[in-house]
Amino acid sequence: MLKVPQSLIKVYVHLVFSTKYRMPLIPDDIRREMHAYMGGVLTSKGCYPVEINSEPDHVHILFISGRTHSFAQVVSCLKTSATHWIRAKDPTKPHSFWQRGYGAFSISMSEVDRLRWYIRRQREHHRGTTYKEEFRNLLNTNNLDYDERYVWD
């Protein structure tokens, strides 16, 4: 009997991206349904969604990365599919819905529960912090070098 080696992976990723120019384009009445849709897109790419939440101008997603698609492919498919889904709900929404870039941060298993709580509490969090402040903090906390001129679109 031929033995085939397995490729096993369990990498938690915190993905954050905003709407184009951080415009408040995500209405409350579609948020839960959009989160479920995004979870389905991730699942179709072999990823496991753990927590998804959004505010009118950005999205936080915690998921376990799959092993069959590159990270860039997953994010591109997620943003493109979500744009089509949102435009099917409201054709007046812009064709270019999301910012071009994103932030993605690895999360240790010991931090998963804390991050899930943080993602769930976005509404409360943003009563005192803007998305730009939050995103800069994520970049700095994760020691990412960045050029402010290219972070925002």
Task: Centre a 10 Å sphere on the Cβ of residue 32 and count the other Cβ atoms it contains.
Answer: 12
Taking the C-alpha atoms of residue 138 and residue 84, their distance in angstroms, rounded to an integer, is 28
**The total number of residues written for the chain in this structure:** 153
All residue ranges of the chain with pLDDT < 50 are none
Distance CA 107, CA 97 (A): 27
Cα 120 to the center of its chain, rounded Å? 13
Place of tokens 């092993």: 67
DSSP H/E element including 123:
helix 122-125
pLDDT value at residue 98: 95
Neighbours of 18 (CB within 10 A): 25
pLDDT of residue 42: 98
The confidence score (pLDDT) of residue 100 equals: 92
* Distance in angstroms (rounded) separating the CA atoms of residues 94 and 96: 5
Q: What is the pLDDT of residue 101?
A: 93
Domains annotated on the chain, with CATH: 12-151 (3.30.70.1290)
The number of C-alpha atoms within 13 Å of 135 and in the hemisphere containing its C-beta is 21
Give me the residues paired with residue 54 across strands: 59
